[in-house]
Structures are given as C-alpha cells and as structure tokens.
Amino acid sequence: MGKNLLQGKRGIIFGALNENSIAWQVALKCVEEGASIVLTNAPVAAKIGQTEALATQLNAPLIYADVTKMEDMENLVSESVAKLGGKLDFVLHSVGMSLNVRKKVPYTELNYDWMHTTIDISAISFHRLMQVLWKQDAVNEWGSVLALTYIAAQRVFPDYSEMADAKSMLESIARSFGYHFGKRNHVRVNTISQSPTYTTAGSGVGGFDAFFNYSNTMSPLGNASSETCADYCISLFSDYTKMVTMQNLFHDGGFSSTGIAQDLMESFASEAGK
Ligand SMILES: NC(=O)c1ccc[n+]([C@@H]2O[C@H](COP(=O)([O-])OP(=O)(O)OC[C@H]3O[C@@H](n4cnc5c(N)ncnc54)[C@H](O)[C@@H]3O)[C@@H](O)[C@H]2O)c1
C-alpha cells in the first residue's frame, strides 16, 4: 500500500527492461505512490525486453528512445510533458552498458571505439538528458533527477573495468549539472550508489556471484535489493528530501563504510592457522 508520497507528480523512468531491472521496481512504486509516469527504453528493448508489458500493467505511455541520440531525447521529453499534461517532477536515469565488459576484454586492453560507446550510453547520456530537460524548461521547481551508480567509481573492483570510469563521470555530471539546475530551478540532482543486484546489466560483470556474496558478507545489513532501492528513489523524488542535491548517496547496507566484516576476519584467521 502506497502512502501517496508522489501524489500528483509526473516523471520519466528509464531502463525497465524486465522485472529484474531496478527501474522496474521504481516504476511500480512510483505509480503505487500516486505518480503518473512515462516509461522509456532503447528501441532494441522492444525485442529483448518486457517494457511493453509493464507499460500495459501500469497504464503508462511507453516512448522508445536511444539515450545516445539527441533527437530521441528531445522527442522523449516533449512527448512526455504533452502526454502527462504538464512539466515533470522527477526523472530516473537507470541506464548502463559496457561493450568491453560484455565482450570480456581485459581493462589493460580496452577497445576505444567500444569505450566511447560505453561512456556515451552510461555517462554522457545523463548530461544529454539534463541538457534537454534544461533547454525545454521541462522540470518543475523542486523537481528531482536521479541516476544509479556503483562504488567502483571510488574504489577498484577489477572486473567492473571501464564501467568504473563511466560511473565516475556520471557522478561528476550529477554534481556539475546539479549546481546549475539548483541555481535556476531549485531542481536537485543526485546519484544512488546501489549494492550489486541480480539484473541483466549486473550479471554481465565477470564473477558476479563472488562479487554479490562478498558484498553481502561485508555489509552489516546485507546487500540492498532492487525493491529497497526503489523505496529510496521514492524518498528522493518526494518532498521530504528537497534540500538534498549534488550528492552520491550510498544505498548499500553499510558496505561503503565497512573495512572488514567479522565473518571474513574469521576465514582469514583459520587460513593463517593452517
Ligand atoms: N545491477 C547492479 O548490480 C547495479 C549496481 C549498481 C548500479 N547499477 C546501475 O543501475 C542501472 C540500471 O541497471 P540494472 O542493473 O537495473 O540493469 P538492466 O539491464 O535491467 O538495466 C539497464 C538498462 O539500460 C538500458 N539501455 C542500454 N543501452 C541503452 C540506450 N542506448 N538507450 C536507452 N537505454 C539503454 C537497457 O535497455 C536496460 O533497460 C545502471 O546504471 C547500472 O549500472 C546496477
């Protein structure tokens, strides 16, 4: 049962590919909390994803747009404002893709054409989105723009490869654009740094099971699920977080502040005693 935290608000949700997608859970909760939303995804998602089924379930317009194409983004934002009947109050950027990771290219041997694509899809697209929102003056005062990121932006997780570089840039764009959007429209811009989560993008990272289990053991609260991530997104779209902006917010069960977990200490102690 929702609490009407987003009653009367309008938003766009990027990246709900299938029910494992973090954005899928966010879309469900936005509607449960009283918002009207537009769903969007890459045109290829029409073939490989279930975004359309979600759009039908939520009675939400679905507008396909490739985040690397300016004209797609312009059309998406203007059409969304028209279909929802007014300016937007929130936007979730839940988009990421790495060709080098997908093709298992080692970090020391990156293909730069692919790296350009990775950075365009996973980071520059956030700037492109905000530039379009800005130029069309499409966001209401005190609106909220969010993107999803991962702690590899701050610390090395070798298998995360070039996505770490893309996420660093994404977080920097949130701060830089957040300044301008705050000054002009009181719009806040933040990134949520989420625990490893079993999704199409997440499971594409090499050794994901080990990644997930390590993080789950290290975090005092365990890994954060996509459902709890959706709750956090709702709070950041709501009027209860109006003065939070230009932040990278960890939603990770305490992982980012933990040096070592007792369980791991014990496993190393028994190794040493052998
Ligand atoms: N899963 C994790 O472990 C994890 C952890 C932290 C952060 N994140 C981030 O969460 C976000 C959502 O990913 P997810 O884990 O839900 O996986 P997902 O695969 O379900 O979502 C990624 C989405 O990006 C979309 N996309 C890719 N290229 C696109 C393009 N050119 N134009 C428009 N859309 C495009 C895909 O269609 C898909 O819907 C990503 O930014 C990801 O990096 C994921």
Sort strands 10-14 and 62-64 into parallel, antiparallel or unpaired: unpaired
- Using an 8 Å Cβ cutoff, are 264 and 213 in contact? no
Q: Is residue 4 part of a domain?
A: no
**Catalytic positions, please?**
150, 160
Q: What domain count does the chain have?
A: 1
pLDDT at 151: 98
- Using an 8 Å Cβ cutoff, are 142 and 136 in contact? no
Lowest mean pLDDT among 92-106, 202-216, 228-242: 202-216
pLDDT tier, 80 (very low <50, low <70, confident <90, very high otherwise): very high
Q: Which amino acid is at 38?
A: V
Query: Does residue 81 register a pLDDT over 90?
Result: yes
Q: How far apart are CA 186 and CA 180, in angstroms?
A: 9
CA of 192 to the centre of ligand 1 (A): 13
Domain span including residue 37: 10-273
Structure tokens at 100: 């080098």
Query: Does residue 271 register a pLDDT over 70?
Result: no
pLDDT at 108: 98
Q: Is residue 165 part of a domain?
A: yes
pLDDT tier, 232 (very low <50, low <70, confident <90, very high otherwise): very high
pLDDT tier, 93 (very low <50, low <70, confident <90, very high otherwise): very high
Of 26, 24, 41, 14, the residue nearest 229 (C-alpha)? 26
Residues of the chain with pLDDT > 70, as a percent, come to 98
Q: Is residue 140 part of a domain?
A: yes
For 147-204, what is each residue's pLDDT tens digit? 999 999 999 999 999 999 999 999 999 999 999 999 999 999 999 999 999 998 888 8
pTM tops 0.85, yes or no = yes
Q: What rounded mean pLDDT belongs to the chain?
A: 96
Query: Does residue 273 register a pLDDT over 80?
Result: no
For 9-58, what is each residue's pLDDT tens digit? 999 999 999 999 999 999 999 999 999 999 999 999 999 999 999 999 99
CA of 274 to the centre of ligand 1 (A): 43
Of 95, 199, 181, 111, the residue nearest 145 (C-alpha)? 181
Structure tokens at 239: 């009027």
The CATH number that applies at residue 229 is 3.40.50.720
User: Residue 253: phi, psi to the nearest 5?
Assistant: 65, 15
Q: Is residue 5 part of a domain?
A: no
Q: Is residue 187 part of a domain?
A: yes
User: Residue 141: phi, psi to the nearest 5?
Assistant: -55, 140
Q: What atom in ligand 1 is closest to the CA of residue 48?
A: 37
Sort strands 188-194 and 139-149 into parallel, antiparallel or unpaired: parallel
Q: Which helix (H) or strand (E) holds 235?
A: helix 226-237
Q: What atom in ligand 1 is closest to the CA of residue 167?
A: 43
Query: Does residue 254 register a pLDDT over 80?
Result: yes
Q: Is residue 133 part of a domain?
A: yes
Distance of CA 76 to the CA centre of its chain: 18
The set of protein residues with a Cβ atom below 6 angstroms from ligand 1 is 15, 17, 21-23, 41-42, 45, 66-68, 94-97, 121, 148-150, 194, 196-197, 199-202
Q: What atom in ligand 1 is closest to the CA of residue 95?
A: 24
Q: How far apart are the first and last CA of the chain?
A: 53
CA of 122 to the centre of ligand 1 (A): 8
Q: Where are the alpha helices (DSSP H) in 139-225?
A: 162-185, 200-203, 208-218
Q: Is residue 1 part of a domain?
A: no
Query: Does residue 270 register a pLDDT over 90?
Result: no
In a mutational test of the pocket of ligand 1, which residue from 72, 77, 95, 200 has the highest number of ligand atoms less than 8 Å from its CB?
95
- Using an 8 Å Cβ cutoff, are 99 and 114 in contact? yes
Which residue is closest in CA terms to ligand 1's atom 24? 95
Q: How far apart are CA 164 and CA 151, in angstroms?
A: 8
CA of 263 to the centre of ligand 1 (A): 31
pLDDT tier, 228 (very low <50, low <70, confident <90, very high otherwise): very high
pLDDT at 205: 83
Which residue is closest in CA terms to ligand 1's atom 42? 96
Q: Is residue 179 part of a domain?
A: yes
> Which residues on adjacent β-strands are paired with residue 63?
40
CA of 189 to the centre of ligand 1 (A): 18
